[in-house]
Structure 1
Amino acid sequence: MAMESVQSIAERSCGSIPSCFVRPECERPGLAHDAFFQESFPVIDISGLGEGSERERAEIVRRIGAACTDWGFFHVTNHGVPLQLMDGMRRAAEIFFERPMCEKLQFSTPPGEMAAEGFANRMLTRDDQVLDWRDYLNHHAHPIWRRNSSNWPHEQSYRQMIEEYSAQVLALSRQLLAAISESLGLGSKFIEDAIGEPFQNIVMNYYPPCPQPDLTLGLQSHSDFGAITLLMEDHVGGLQVRKNGRWFAVKPVPGAFIANLGDQVEVLSNGRYKSVEHRVVVNSTNKRMAIAAFYDPSKNTRISPAPELIDEQNPRLYGEVLFRDHVSDFYSKGPEGKRNLDSIAIIRQ
């Protein structure tokens, strides 16, 4: 059966959504996409990380550590990625999703193949999954040998832009991981070395207007399974973060990235820093575009807590994680919030 995009379903909608998108009542959004909260969500200017004084750098590292402790998410400003390049990426995504369906299907992923490169709308491999109100285009950006050029739009300008953008956000991810390592009292290269050669995916997400946004989600509740994610979004809003049992809508900041920790940093930090549940809600009037850059270990990498962070007062909280198994569990069983990471926690009486 040929894939039908969520965008196509939305365009022919008669005021209701198919049952395969309707989430159980306990999972439905109770907070609108633009119900932005008043509590201070961290916004961190990192310009001093590279060229500032030692004192300035120490203060930025402290603020990043505090954000990792309190939220697991923070906005990053003055990050060095050219705004012209960010705008170009947004426009490239818009142009792709404006293509006729027959053209987009040229880049569709094989059914049932997890994390495959190309155009798709199903995150999990289970047949009984409730679908997200989202289409996406996944690029395997790094290492270069992972790229399948047949699943990238063929225009040379498009490919050059993806390559330049992926290199810029890869460098930014490493810069942030160095600061996160330092904030834990570890060497600046500790997390980068533990992750090894990163597997980077660039995912363009398109969330069409939805006639019944109170019944579905653009992206179900989950924590990211890798190390760190950098998200570039438009002005619409829709990202929500779970903190202390409540959902908070994150207000977009023009020109900023949203950085969030993945499960592997929670393991490496022995639980000092958390990978946080988040989701995307949709609305009935505005489409939303967001581009995520994932910085993950290779499938054969094993991750375990930093020995320096374990002592009598701070016992080991996690066993060793083979990243391949962690990813497979996510895609085959479903994230269910943070169930996958919780399953490897060491239970203490």
Structure 2
Amino acid sequence: MSNLGSYPPAFRHQNKEQSQKYDPADEEDSLDLIPLIDLQCIRLDKLGEACKEWGMFRLVNHQVPLTLMNQLQEQAKKVFSLSFESKQRLFTSPVSYFWGTPALTPSGTALSRGPNNINWVEGFNVPLSQVSQFQADEDPMLRSFRLLLEEYGRHMGRLAKTLFEAMVKNLNLDSEESKSNLSESTGYVRAYRYPGLPETEALGMELHTDSSVLSILNQDIVGGLELFKDDKWFKVKPIPGTMIINLGDMMQAISNDEYMSPKHRVKAKKQVERFSICYFVFPEEGSVIRSSNYKPFTYSDFRAQVQDDIKTLGYKVGLERFKIHQD
């Protein structure tokens, strides 16, 4: 059972008889319907269909060592087990700690909308280009976490570049002009912990679309990720050793709406924690996205608009703000 002192205070009223073991049978009703893409022999027709119809697919033969995926998950669990106060003190810059809200908004803003609107999640936000600056040498656990993140980040950059180049080819976009639309230097890793709950309907992450070009998810065996498609929710089954690729808003705009940035959410589980590691990558700083459906904009423009909307409206509007509406 997790030490309740490791949770943000707002999460500590959870069931104190929290289960330590997870029964995979809980996921038996999760049909594995999302498309499967093999990185070692990418079929452009299958990739294009997955991006158009789903905006999400499962990646196999990605050559990220299973030992690295598992070690990073286990090390993240150890870091999450530190006291809430320690995490607030240790993780300020460049690695930051957040809870109750997606990392795009400052921690705690969801609290102003009332406790029922808190995302039941906490996490670490890691800008990979700065992770070497994370002062962790005095603590073996934190140093190991940093080294694993650095190695993992290199693999994520490779995957993102390979997949993006295949998508650019599929969309018949100019490969030279498209290079600035995905920059490994912008890559972030976010480690998430979703506390177990006595209730079964709490949201670990509310319905949203990712703002990235691509997101690459490494989830543990505990389910919870759900994709919204054709007016219904699909559970995304956790299958060890596979990655889930999710297209973000930037990719939808780059593709001129040919590809989809899908709506998805995470449901917190009853009496069991869920851990996941997600990589996000964005366009190069100052890179202008141009397409016939949108006014020219940079990711900085997009992020500023999203943060303003969250502050004033309480939610993200997203791509609709940049759409060219035909009369």
Shorter chain as denominator, the TM-score bin is 0.7 to 0.9
In 2, Cα distance between equivalents of 1:182 and 1:337: 34
Q: How does 1:60-71 map to 2 (within 5 A)?
A: 60-71=43-54
Q: Partner of 1:304: helix, strand, or coil? A: strand
TM-score by length of 2: 0.82
Corresponding residue number in structure 2 for 1:232:
218
Corresponding residue number in structure 1 for 2:159:
172
Corresponding residue number in structure 1 for 2:21:
none
Q: Partner of 1:286: helix, strand, or coil? A: coil
Q: 1:264 to 1:290 in 2, by over 3 A?
A: same
In 2, Cα distance between equivalents of 1:276 and 1:293: 16
Residue 68 of structure 1 aligns with an amino acid whose one-letter code is: C
Alignment check: 8 A CA contact 2:165 2:175 kept? yes
CA RMSD of aligned residues (A): 2.8
- Structure number with higher strand proportion: 2
In 2, Cα distance between equivalents of 1:209 and 1:340: 30
Residue 136 of structure 1 aligns with an amino acid whose one-letter code is: G
Corresponding residue number in structure 1 for 2:134:
149
Corresponding residue number in structure 2 for 1:212:
199
Alignment of 1:102 onto 2:85: yes
Identity of aligned residues (%): 26
Please point out which of 257, 263, 274 is paired with 1:277.
263
- The offset of 1:263, in angstroms, is 0.9
Residue 132 of structure 1 aligns with an amino acid whose one-letter code is: N
Q: How does 1:302-313 map to 2 (within 5 A)?
A: 302-305=288-291
Gapped runs of 5+ residues in structure 2? Answer: 17-25
Q: How does 1:75-94 map to 2 (within 5 A)?
A: 75-94=58-77
TM-score by length of 1: 0.78
In 1, Cα distance between equivalents of 2:316 and 2:231: 13
Q: 1:109 to 1:46 in 2, by over 3 A?
A: same
Residue 13 of structure 1 aligns with an amino acid whose one-letter code is: Q
The more displaced of 87-96 and 332-341 is 332-341
Alignment of 1:44 onto 2:31: no
Alignment check: 8 A CA contact 2:187 2:282 kept? yes
Q: Partner of 1:319: helix, strand, or coil? A: strand
Gapped runs of 5+ residues in structure 1? Answer: 16-32, 49-56, 111-115, 306-315
Alignment check: 8 A CA contact 1:277 1:338 kept? no
Alignment check: 8 A CA contact 2:59 2:242 kept? yes
Alignment of 1:160 onto 2:147: yes
Give aligned pairs, total. 301
Corresponding residue number in structure 2 for 1:242:
228
Alignment of 1:13 onto 2:6: no
Alignment check: 8 A CA contact 1:34 1:238 kept? no
Alignment check: 8 A CA contact 1:223 1:337 kept? no
Q: Partner of 2:191: helix, strand, or coil? A: strand
Residue 172 of structure 1 aligns with an amino acid whose one-letter code is: L
